[in-house]
Structures are given as C-alpha cells and as structure tokens.
Amino acid sequence: MNSTLMNSRNMNLKKLKGRHLPFIFLFICMMSVVGTRASAQERVLGADLSLLPAYEAAGTDYYPQNGGKVIPDVLGYVKTEAGMNAVRLRLFVAPDGTDPSVCQTLGYVKDMGKRIKDAGMLFLLDFHYSDTWADPSSQTIPASWYDLNEIGDLDNLTDWTVEQKVYNYTKDCLNELVSYGATPDFVQIGNEISYGMLWRKDYDKVYPKLAQGDCGWQWERLGKFLNAGAKAVREVTPDAKIIIHTERVAEEDATENFYTYLDNLEVDYDIIGLSYYPFYHGSLQQLSTTLKRLQQVMPQRKVHIVETAYNYAYYPTDAVYDLQDTWSATVAGQQQYVEDLTAELWRHSNVTGLYWWFAEENGNGKNKTVLGSWLNRGLWNNSTHRALPALGKMQDFLNVPTLVMDVKGKKKKKQPVDVFDTTGRKVRKGGSGIYVGGGASFIIR
C-alpha cells in the first residue's frame, strides 16, 4: 500500500473514531452487559435441604415471610422467591439412628433427588462416605466396609480394599439414582476433606499446611480414593461435574496447597468446593484473599461455595472470629451478610456457585424428631416458622449488580469516583441517567 493511500486511510479512521466514539463506547458497554448476563446464567444458586423431608414427615409448617397460608411446596417456594436453581443433599452409608439429623440413606436421597429433578432444579449429591458426619474432625470409615473379626484391627484394612469400596459404593448409588429418575448434576466426592477422608486412625490424615516437598503416602492414599469415586461418576453420570470440598478458607496457603497436591496427583475433578462460615473462617476480606489466590494459581478451576450460613439469633458460642460488629446476630444482620457476601462474590469471576447450608432449619420437629437443638442460622425462623428476609436476598448472587442512587435524597449506595455516561464521557456526578463504572451499571434518578 503506497503512502498516499495509507495517509488517506488513517485520516478516515480518525474521523470515524471521533464521530462514532460515543456509539462505539455504548456498543462495548452493551456487549459487556451481555457477557455479564451470560455468566449470570451459568451461575448455580442453591441450598442444602437435606432435612426437608424429615421436617415434612414431622408435620412442620413453613410460612412466607409475612405470614399467611402455609407454603404447600417448599422446593417451589425457594425456586420462585429466592431464584434458587439447585439443591444439595448429603448421603450417608448406614446411619445408626442416634442422631435424627443423620437420616439421609440412599432411599431417602432417591426420593428427594427425584423431587428436585421433577421441579426442574439441579441436584448436587454430597457423598460423606461414612455412617455419620464427615468433616475436618471426623472421617470415619463405614462399619459395613470391614470386619474386625477378619482383620483384627483397622490397621490391617488395606488401602486397596477401601479404594474398591469407594468405587463400588459410588457406582452402585449412582446407578440406583439414575434408574430412579434422580440423576445428579454435581457429585461431591467427600465432605470437607481438608485433612483427608476414610481414616483408619490419625496417621491417615493429610496436612495441607505442609510444604509441597512433604507430600507423602497419605496424599497418595487420598488421591486413589478420590479417583476411585471420580471413575464411578464418569462411568455412570458422565455429564455430572465433580466437586472436591474443603474448608480452609481461613488459610489461603493451605487451600492452595491442597488443590495443588491434587493436581500433582492427577486427581480427576471439575470444581473446587469451599465452606465459608464467617464465625469459623474470618471476614469477607479473608474469603476474597483465598478466592484471588485460587484464581491466580488455578485459573481453569471454577469455585462453588457449597456451604455458607450466618445466624439470625444467638451468635455461635464456638465462634473463632467475632464479627458481630460487622453483622449482628439478628434478622437484619443475617440479611446484611447475604447482601455483602453476594456483592463480594460478584468480584470474583471464578466463583459460579453458592449454597446456603441447612436453609430448611425450622424448629425441632414434633418431639424433637428432626433436630436436637437449634442452630438459628437457617432461612426460616425457628419460632415463627416464617421465611427470613435473607432468603429473598440470596438471588442477588444471580443478578448483575446495579447500584442505585437518589440524588435528591439519601444515597442508597456509594457511586464510584470515576464513572462514564453512555457517550463515553468520564463523569464524577451525573444527573438522571445510566452510567457504567467499577464493574457495574448505575442508575441515577
């Protein structure tokens, strides 16, 4: 191309850019909004409702926030009122009946799982691989998986035997669920396995705080068990996403180490699952630090907050962090927690899932047949049986954040210092109109 043609082309481009800059800017903003909406559509919002059938069997009534008639279908209610599109259910191998909240047998989960699927919702299946609660303090091998009369001591239970049990049990459960019309969309292999799973004794634990060079046979053992479960998931429910769940948000280095170990061991999974309870794991700033670390070191991994909750009464006596100055243990404090949490999660593109744990908490059930004592962190009030305001605010996780201001009255949200109007001009304080800035759209009215 000769110099005359080149100069002519550059001049035309300058004219085009100058004349159409506002429209180009508006187009870019529109495309940004479209992209944000697309990501919002990919988001999963749900609740762990593992005790809902037990509450229903005990005759417990659920009411809307403002009272009125009994809610006939709680699943339908959380779907319409909170925008939830998923439900999480835990599964135990053979509960012994001593804890009424540990009642989720395969038959129980099949029935509830089919209800979830029939409601058009996504189903997250949480394998505990235990007869009781599996968490950082307890990862007990199911009693039916060994015979002490044969092996004499748990020390003699081989890893190969446990590995085969994980594979066969996972495969059998999934086959039954699929046949029943309760195919999971997400499968969680283990529950809060920050220190490993299926311990014979304490020596089986893994310690994610240790340096990478200290990865030993305990990690290899864990990797074999996780891959055994993953193999069954891929075979029976190939479309399901596999989640590996930990609860070390308070220690970003431990969280990074854990999932780095899994990658080094070539563990097959799709999504990082985290528990985040502020009273155990710290402030939203700490959560943000951990999420940013995961985004940096594992950009290919999406993250689901598979458990969160906050009290609307009686701050936990076993709390590690006192955050009552940020969120009081009140109805309003719980609602504010949801608003602040969802706003924070919108700042992290790697987070695509959020679940409220034990959202269905609603008293003890008749003669304490459902719950021995209240936790006071569900989304219904244990005393009035009415939905709490935080339930409706959960849908903020699905909605593109929009900050609204009333220039004549009190500011509802703070406007960023630098925002732009739809012509592309940088403004500090605009009149009525639509503005873009700080990763969100703004309406000034």
Q: What is the pLDDT of residues 420-442, one digit of tens each?
A: 554 455 555 445 455 455 445 54
- CATH code, domain with 124: 3.20.20.80
308 SS3 class:
strand
Residues 205 and 335 in one domain: yes
pLDDT at residue 401 in the model: 79
pLDDT at residue 179 in the model: 98
Angle at Cα 331 formed by Cα 328 and Cα 337, nearest 5°?
Answer: 60
Q: What are phi and psi of 247, to 5 degrees?
A: -145, 35
Residues 427 and 392 in one domain: no
Does 305 reside within a domain?
yes
Residues acting as catalytic residues:
192, 307
Beta strands 440-444 and 433-437 are: antiparallel
Kindly report the pTM of this predicted structure: 0.85
Residues 421 and 337 in one domain: no
Range of the domain at 416: 402-445
Does 170 reside within a domain?
yes
Does 11 reside within a domain?
no
d(CA 272, CA 274) in angstroms, rounded, equals: 7
Q: What is the pLDDT of residues 277-332, one digit of tens each?
A: 999 999 999 999 999 999 999 999 999 999 999 999 999 999 999 999 999 999 99
Residues 407 and 392 in one domain: no
Residues 237 and 216 in one domain: yes
Does 116 reside within a domain?
yes
* Location of structure tokens 């021995």: 372
Residues 104 and 225 in one domain: yes
Split into its structural domains, the chain has a count of 2
Residues 214 and 315 in one domain: yes
Residues 364 and 434 in one domain: no
pLDDT at residue 422 in the model: 47
Does 357 reside within a domain?
yes
Who's near 378: CB < 8 A, 6+ residues apart? 309, 358, 359, 360, 361, 362, 388
Residues 440 and 408 in one domain: yes
Residue 349 in tokens? 């593109």
Does 424 reside within a domain?
yes
Does 14 reside within a domain?
no
Residue (of 131, 109, 112) closest to 121 by Cα position: 112
Q: What is the pLDDT of residues 203-248, one digit of tens each?
A: 999 999 886 665 689 999 999 999 999 999 999 999 999 999 999 9
Q: What are phi and psi of 128, to 5 degrees?
A: -90, -20
Does 55 reside within a domain?
yes
Residues 406 and 395 in one domain: no
> Residue 427's CB: how many other CB atoms inside 10 A?
16
Structural contact between residues 334 and 380, judged by C-beta atoms closer than 8 angstroms: no
Q: Given its phi and psi angles, is residue 433 left (phi above 0), alpha (psi -120 to 50 degrees) or beta? A: left
DSSP of 64-75: -TT--SPPS-HH
21 SS3 class:
helix
Query: How many Å from the N-terminal Cα to the C-terminal Cα in the chain?
Result: 52
Residues 332 and 350 in one domain: yes
Residues 393 and 418 in one domain: no
Q: What is the pLDDT of residues 110-158, one digit of tens each?
A: 999 999 999 999 999 999 999 999 999 999 999 999 999 999 999 999 9
Amino acid (one-letter) located at 215:
C
* Portion of the chain with pLDDT greater than 90, in percent: 77
